[in-house]
Amino acid sequence: MTTRRKGPAVAGVTAVALATLTAVGFTVSQLSSADTSALATVNPTIEPTTPRATSTAPPLGGEGEPALGAIPHIKDTTRVPMPLDSVLTPMSDIKLIDQARDVAAADCMNALGFKTWTAGTIRTWDPGEYREHDFFDYIDPAVAAESGYPRQAEVKDVSSTFAGTKHEPTAEERKAYEGSASKTAEGRTIPAGGCARHADEKLYGQQKKLPADPRALAVASRSRALGDSRVRAALASWQSCVRKAGVTAYQHPVTAQNDPKWQSRTQGTPASDEEKRIAALDAKCQDEVNLVGVYKAVRAAYEQRLLEENQSKFAETKAIVDVWTKNAAAILKSG
């Protein structure tokens, strides 16, 4: 069994948990009650920010809604490029840092005499976190009618180093890991903050903050786009469309796609007739109102503004993350 420790700082987003919106500066009060309920149904296992350290820059910039250029009508699943793409920390580097944290913590625990502790005993990450996500992406109505909502393949652990163990942490081990005790039962000194903080210090050194975290800014752009009047208008049109077809159970596309009746369906398991019907109607209405095109255009406008406001900070941010990545590689190599 693997116990999972949550990251200590700013979370990133996929399909976005409410706590994450607050973490990046987008308050829940900016959402309607319907949107709040919709987002609460989304899987909160979400895309990490660049590190799990904090940023010194305010995540949201500018005032008012940015002007839009031409709004594309999205008709396929090709990824739409975004202004911040060129400065995003690669997911592979984020994963490297996350893995190194667990290895460094395990080395610390072993040095304290806890020899059964491994990097998988309390893991700070999940394999599914390292996918790129967004609120809305194109769903083909014909494919939805045939197969229901798209399902991503399950991501499985491939390394025995990080696989879950059958070792349940003891009370003494947790104290050493979390730093709630100063010495072990055998009298060994526990680092201040425990092995979890010790691992963070090995990774980040004295530089634990970023001038600007591009992934946090990307999350902010999605949150801002969701609350933008033009996206809200498209959502209202979508809602009117599905209601005309007699479907009134869903206030938001997120609640439709994440209905518990089919959300747990794994890839390879056939969709029910009901899921196919709802998915096809949802996709058809999204296409009719160009929900994805409007959302992507609005999100891109917010990203462009954030890019311009923080451009001078990104080179410094990259240099810092490069150091963390090198530290992570060294930890994994020695571990």
Digit-coded pLDDT (tens) for 32-42: 444 444 444 33
pLDDT at 155: 59
Residue 30 has pLDDT above 80, yes or no: no
Q: What is the pLDDT of residues 62-103, one digit of tens each?
A: 678 999 988 999 999 999 999 999 999 999 999 999 999 999
Decide: 203 and 108 in contact? Cβ < 8 Å: no
| DSSP three-state, residue 220 | helix
Whether residue 6 is predicted with pLDDT greater than 70 in this model: the reply is no
Tokens of 304: 């462009």
> What stretches of the chain show up as alpha helix (H) in DSSP?
18-23, 33-40, 91-111, 141-147, 171-178, 194-204, 214-227, 229-244, 253-257, 260-263, 273-289, 291-334
**H or E element that contains 59:** none
- Is the predicted pLDDT of residue 185 greater than 90, yes or no? yes
Which is nearest to 3 in space by CA: 172, 119, 159? 119
Residues contacting residue 59 through CB under 8 Å, at least 6 positions apart: 24, 25, 213, 216, 217, 219, 220
For residue 173, pLDDT over 90 is answered with: yes
Q: What was the pLDDT predicted at 62?
A: 65
Tokens of 148: 């229901």
Q: What is the pLDDT of residue 26?
A: 32
Indicate the helix (H) or strand (E) that contains 155: none
pLDDT in the model for residue 11: 28
Instruction: Tell me which range, 57-71, 130-144, 159-173, 296-310, is most confidently predicted by mean pLDDT.
Output: 296-310
Please identify which residue in the block is written with the tokens 């209202």. Answer: 236
The predicted pLDDT at position 168 comes to 87
Which pLDDT does position 280 carry in this prediction?
A: 98
The mean pLDDT value of the chain amounts to: 82
CA 241 to chain centre: 30
Residues facing 210 on adjacent strands: 55
Higher pLDDT, 45 or 243: 243
